[in-house]
Amino acid sequence: GQQVMQIPQYQHVQEGEDFTTYCNSSTTLSNIQWYKQRPGGHPVFLIQLVKSGEVKKQKRLTFQFGEAKKNSSLHITATQTTDVGTYFCAGPTSGTYKYIFGTGTRLKVLA
Amino acid sequence: DAGITQSPRYKITETGRQVTLMCHQTWSHSYMFWYRQDLGHGLRLIYYSAAADITDKGEVPDGYVVSRSKTENFPLTLESATRSQTSVYFCASSEGQLIEAFFGQGTRLTVV
């Protein structure tokens, strides 16, 4: 079945350093979503990418969808303590609206 | 208040008991989902629903039952709880296909 993998699983960075998490799907995705979950909280939608090669920015966050629509990345510039949490990508199973989530990347930011 | 709410927030139950987790949303979203979250596995889809009386299995449906008689409610029942079902359960809803989902606060279930 379809698999969505994320790397790394964990990342510790010093405040001010950059951070990147990568998402790879075993199948082509019609779109990809990113969510953030704060410790003890629930996933919160960040963004959706639809087009091949699409790049979207939200302040210090840059999201990219691969040309083949099988991978994606989230880059955070100059991390802050408020960026702490787990970042998930999610993609729909082919032909359905059933979203499969990646395993997540847990980010810790050291002040 | 508008939104998506789950109850209870915390539940401890014994092996073999039946337990139902409730999910209620006030947006009249058509699509609803149940996920479980375990360390190392991320969020795994249990069941989902496109509308009232329409449900379908996700990645890990065994041991769970859902119903959706009303658009706003999507209860998840563990027919005979097992320790492996100890997890955090999240309900989510979405207005349409392939758009953002809104998650509830989660239910932490412990099966002893």
Q: Summarize pLDDT for B96-111 with one digit per residue, the tens.
A: 878 899 999 999 999 9
Is the backbone peptide bond immediately before A39 cis, with ω within 30 degrees of 0? no
Is the backbone peptide bond immediately before A92 cis, with ω within 30 degrees of 0? no
Q: Is the Cβ pair B105, A102 closer than 8 Å? A: no
Residue A94 pLDDT grade (very low, low, confident, very high; cuts 50, 70, 90):
confident
Interface of chain A toward chain B, CB-CB under 8 angstroms: 1, 6, 30-31, 33, 41-45, 48, 88, 90, 92, 97-104
Average pLDDT over chain A, rounded to an integer: 95
Q: How many CB atoms lie within 10 A of CB B92?
A: 27
The answer to whether the CB of B42 falls within 8 A of the CB of A101 is yes
Q: Is the Cβ pair A101, B48 closer than 8 Å? A: no
Residue B112 pLDDT grade (very low, low, confident, very high; cuts 50, 70, 90):
very high
Minimal C-alpha gap between B96 and chain A (Å): 9
Phi and psi at residue B100, in whole multiples of 5°?
Answer: -60, 145
- Residues in A closer than 8 angstroms to B41, CB to CB, are 103
- Residues in B closer than 8 angstroms to A31, CB to CB, are 98
Q: Nearest residue on chain B to A92, judged by CA atoms?
A: B98
Residue B6 pLDDT grade (very low, low, confident, very high; cuts 50, 70, 90):
very high
B55 beta partners: B49
Minimal C-alpha gap between A43 and chain B (Å): 6
Q: Is the pLDDT of residue B2 over 80?
A: no
Closest CA to A89 of A68, A69, A67: A69
Each residue's pLDDT tens digit, B60-99: 999 999 999 999 999 999 999 999 999 999 999 999 878 8
